[in-house]
Every structure is written in C-alpha cells, then in structure tokens.
Structure 1
Amino acid sequence: MKTHREIAQQLDLFHSEPQGPGMIFWHPNGWRLFQDIQQHIRELYLQYGFEEVRTPQFLKKELWQTSGHLAMYGEDMFFGGDPAGEQDYALKPMSCPGHILLFKRGVHSYRDLPVKLFEFGLVHRNEASGALNGCLRLRQFTQDDAHVFCAWSQVKHEVSQFLERARQVYRQYGYQQLAVKISTRPEAALGDEALWHQAEHILMEVCRDESMDYELQVGEGSFYGPKIELALQDSLGREWQCGTIQLDFNLPGRFEVAFTNAAGEREHPVILHQAMYGSIERWIGMLLEVTQGALPKWIHPLPAAIAPVNEAAAEYADALAELLKAADLPVMTDHSNCSVSRKIKRFHQLKIPNILIVGEKEVSNEQVALRRGKAVTVIEKSQLIAQLLAFRAI
C-alpha cells in the first residue's frame, strides 16, 4: 500500500517544502483535481439553495473573543498585527464568525429563513509539527464551510437535507459504508444545559427518521453545540472522518443575531455549521489512499493521453489534443523518441484511463486506437469526444 504522498508524487499532483510546513504546493494536475472536486460540491450546494460568499482571512482578535474561539481554541490559532507590533489580528481557523457578520448586515424576517451561505474558506490552524501528515493534517487548508441560519422549527428538515446530500456525494465517489456519530455536550461548553439536551435530541431523532444507526460520543461536541460526524470506511476497514453538521444555539446570542418572528418579536436563529468534505486537501489525500491513485473516472485530472507512433503522426496527434482541449478534456501528448510501449507504460504509471494511439494508418483513415486497460478499440475521430465525455460522466 502506497501513502497518499507517494501516489501524489507518482501522479505529479503536489508536494510540500520545508519552507512551508503543513502547506501544499499544487502542481497543474493536482490543482485541476482540486478545482474539479471544489466545483462538484459547489454545484450541489447551489442546487440546495445555498449562496456562495467570501470573507476575510485576517480579522481582529475581538471577533474571536466574542465567538469564544480565543478562549477555547486560541492555542491552535496564528496571530499577527499592525506595523506597531500589536498582535491584534488572527488568521481565521474557520469561517463561521465571518458568515455571522454577513447575516447581521440584513434585517431578517421569519419569512427569509432559512438563509444558507457557503464558502471555500482558506483557514489556518497552528498544528504541532509532529502531527503534520501530508494532505491529511495541515496548517493551511480549504474547508467547504457552509452555514444555515434558521428557526428551531426548521432544524430537523435542514439536518435531514444535510444527510441526504452526504449520502449522494459519498456514493458518487464509490463509498458505501457510512458511520454516524453524535457528539454531545463537552465539559467546557457554552450555554444552557437544557438547550443542549434539546439539540442533542433533535440530532438523534433525525438520524432515527433517516434509518441511520448512530454511535454516541459523550462529551465530544463543539463548545457551542452538539454535532453529527460522518465517517467513511475503505476496503481495508479504515475509518475516515469527513462530513459534520453542528447545531449552534450559542453564537447567535453572543453576536446578538436575530430575526423577527411571526409575532413581531426578535428571536435568535439557530446556526447549523456544516461541511461535506471537511477539508478539500484532506479529502484528496484520503481519496488517493483509498483508490491507490485509480481515481474515479469522472474526477481524474488527466483523463486522456496521446501516443504518436512516429513523427509522421505528430501533427495529427497535436490536432487531436486541440480537439480534446476545446471540449474541456485535459490531455497530454508524448512526442518523445520512445517506443509506443514505453509511452504506454508511462501513461499507466500516471493512471491515465484513456490512451489514444495514432500511427500512419489512423492518420490516413482519420481514426484513433483507443486503449482502456488492455482492450484496444479503433474508433472514428468524429466519435472521440462523445466517447470520452460519456466515459467521464458520473
């Protein structure tokens, strides 16, 4: 079994440098994979009524003091300041306070709820150097960070929709086993204990309604509310914690966030903090280890490669490459003097699923020899794009 770092080197995806511990240098193939995964979840959030936003990375400490992160999470944060040297700012470790400030900009009625925001938030956490592990444990990473501002009466429906999205996404990546864990009130918790019990009961009730067995993790909740954590199991029985939804009834009060209810009174909303991947970088690291580099065909960053047999086929190979790029199909062409078998071996090392072989016969007949695994099929040039797009479909 190769590690995700070894596979990343094999597929030319990313690397790390001593000058940036816990941070990733993305290569073209890796960044394309990252963006495709990001776009996939973006389309899903939009489908469910979320709106994409962007908030600052460097915010005053007073914000994190209000949220409670400074007291509860300060040891894991990075701090900086102005030229005078005051350490009055912090790099955000998560996006929720920024989304709360966005919500506060408007005057909201109960008719406006739920308000759904999401962001691909670049966050920083001061992890110990000994804990860093490639993509799986980083100091800088990107969260698919989403928040739903809603009334208590809407919580069950929104949690249920989150679980529905999770099952849809994970199945598209080939995962079938999903473990559900509910984390309850920790010792260092904010807010009223009765509200904690109410929130925990709602999470358990939704899981039962969705026929999802769950395990209780007593005392493992966030300081501002209980949460559901989703873990995926791979073919080796390893468990990977990914998605999470946290039911927060504390931060709305600390930030004085409110909406006008049906009786014309001000009422605090509930905030549902949620992420499907958790960290896109960690999701990629996990995916590489689970698949050992044989990525799902619809997400592969380099779905095709062209092997010209000789110089006479070089111009035709370049024309094919332009045709694929115009159809938004990334492709590489090997114009080296190596034999076709050597080129194919190189493409196999890169786990490229579609190998296009072209020689004088293919040039004269405007055809392509399409190789998938050990099977080779000769197809018309005019059919190539349709074949590859069908192969890439989810």
Structure 2
Amino acid sequence: MDGSDRSPGNGNGGSPSQQQPQQRTDLIYADRMRDRLAEINKRIADLKERSRPYVTNLEPRINTALGTYHSSSIWTLLGTGNAQLRKQGVFLGALLSAINERELEQPQADALVEQMKGNARASAAIGFGSLALAGVLTARRYKVVPPWALRNKLTHTVWPAMLFLGYLVPVSLFLSPLFRINATKYYSRQFLRDERLKGWNLDMKNATRGFNDQHHAQLAHAVWPTSTEQQGQGQQQSIGGQAAGGWENAGAYDNTSSTPQSQSQQSSWDSQPSAFDDASPVAPSAVQQQTGSSWARLRGQAAQGQAARSPQPPQAAQGGWGEPEDTSDQFQGSSTGTRDRGAYSSTDFSGTSEKEKAQREFDRLLEQERRGKDQSGAWGGR
C-alpha cells in the first residue's frame, strides 16, 4: 500500500511498449554493422584478388631493389630483417598496382624499398636507443642499494636487473611510440615526394583516403544514429502515444455513451409493472373498471399518476470513436444532465407523496365504510 508501481512492465526501467522500440532500434543497428563489416571484408578480399596477378612480376623487382642490403643481428632483433622487408614490399607493391591498375616498375619498386629500409632503420634505432637510455639510468643508480635489497643475497644480486626493467618499461611505453610515429610520418612524406612516384602519389593517396573515409563514415552511421533518424523515431513514438491515447479516449467515450442507455433501460424497467406490487390496491394490474365507488376512483387516479410519472431520458449525442467532442457541448450536456437529475428526483418525490396521500385516503374511506357498516348493524340490532 505504499503507492509504488510494482507492475512487471516497470521493473526493468520502462514498460514493454517503451522497451520494444529500443530493441528494434538495436537490432537495426546490429544488422547495419554486420552489413558494413561484410562489405569491408568483401572489398578487402576483392582488392587482394585484384593484386594477386601483380605478385609474380613484382617479386623479382623487390629482390633487385633490396640488393645487398643485409642487416646485422642486432638490427634484425630490434628492427626488421630482409625476409620481413621482402614480404612487406611485395604486399604493398601489389596493393599499389591494384589501386592504380598498373604494374609497379623498377624505379617505383626502388622508391618503395628505400622507404621501407629507412623506416626499418628508424625503428631499430629507436629500440636500441630505448635500451641504451634504460642502461644509462640504471648505471647511475645501481650502486645505491636500498635496505630491503640487502636482507639476503638473492635480492642484492637481482637489484640491478630490477632497476633496469623499472627504467625500460616506462621508456618503451611512453617515449618509444612517440619517436616511432614521428619517424613513420617523416619517411611517408619522403615517399610521397619522391620524383619516381610522382604519378602514383596522388592516385594512391586519394584512393586510400576515399576508401577509408567512406567506410569510417558508414561505420559511424551504423553505430550512432543521425539527427534525422532520431527525429523520425521521436515522431513514430509520438504517433504511437497519440494512437494509444485515442484508444483510451475511445473507451472513455464508450463508457460515457453507455450511461444514457443504462438510464433509459432503468427508466423503462421502472415504468413496467412489478410483480411484487400486484397485491397493492393502487397497482395497474389490480385496477378494474368499477363505477359508483370511491375505491374505483382512487385506483384510476393512482394508475393515471403512475403513467404520468414515467419520464423519457434525453438521448446524448455520441461522436465518432476516439474523437473529442466540443467543449461547449460537454458543458451544456453536463448542466442539462444536472437539471434532468433534479427533475427526476422531484418527480419521484411528488409521486411518493401522491401515493401516500392515496393510501391515506383509501384507509380513511375504508374506515368510514367499516364504521357505516357497524352503525347499520347497530341500528338493525335495535
């Protein structure tokens, strides 16, 4: 009895009618996301299929461009080795050929390999620099052993290694990525400005940018609805709310229109003779055509009064379902109904008083007749 709404529909943040549109919207976005991802995968697969014919002629050109480039073991560990460069060069060269729809010649292959070599050297240098910086910082402080490391021989032995890792981790996480990004941007600009790729730079740049921008926009559109879609959903929800309100109003008007019918039925039932009043001397069924006696006259008057007391209730005008009627007509109807109810109550009251008067008159006449009979009997006895 605390007045809180404990209905099942409101237990999970809203009624089922409010949750269903949200579920349908989520399903629509999920379907769009799957369609976009399928389209992206299809385009990537198509691009790979288109680039496959160029691989055969491109491999010897990439090997020729690499030439005598051999990285030492330390650079191979820190950067990119020959096998990785060869594989990466063939893949990028085939994509360039597929996008531009022409084979990559030896000058373009040389430019591509030089860009990859520079990027690999920069990556290896950044990795080696991170190790060197961590080693220098460790050498400056490894002799200062904290007291907790002097408790046993094991901690005292591994203290320099722990200190080196303590410096290497933040340097690799925060400093190295910044240098790698700058190095990649530098060699990318050099690659785009190379004279040997003058006819390829803009083509590749525009094709890659258009491809990425298009699919990023599609993914954003699939995940986040635009303002137009949100407005359309708001209009659908408002239309649904109005329709629900219309049905509710229709039910209210149906109940209102059924009230005069019930009143008219009740009045017709009241006007019909009741089986329980058949024994009353004023009931219509008990009235007989008698003349010459006061009893017959009283019964006739009572029957006429009861017939006159059967009023006909006014028929209320009912509009179409779900359509609100005029406000002025509603106020007039309410005032008219109030006056009619007052008239009904006054008529019932007057009918009751007439019935009581007739009953008293009947009792008085009956008493007079009884007294008259008693007197006649008394005179006869004398």
> What TM-score does the superposition give when structure 2 sets the normalisation length?
0.19
Identify, as 1 or 2, the structure richer in strand: 1
Higher gyration radius (CA) = 2
Q: Which has the higher contact order (CA 8 A, sep 6+)?
A: 1
> What TM-score does the superposition give when structure 1 sets the normalisation length?
0.18
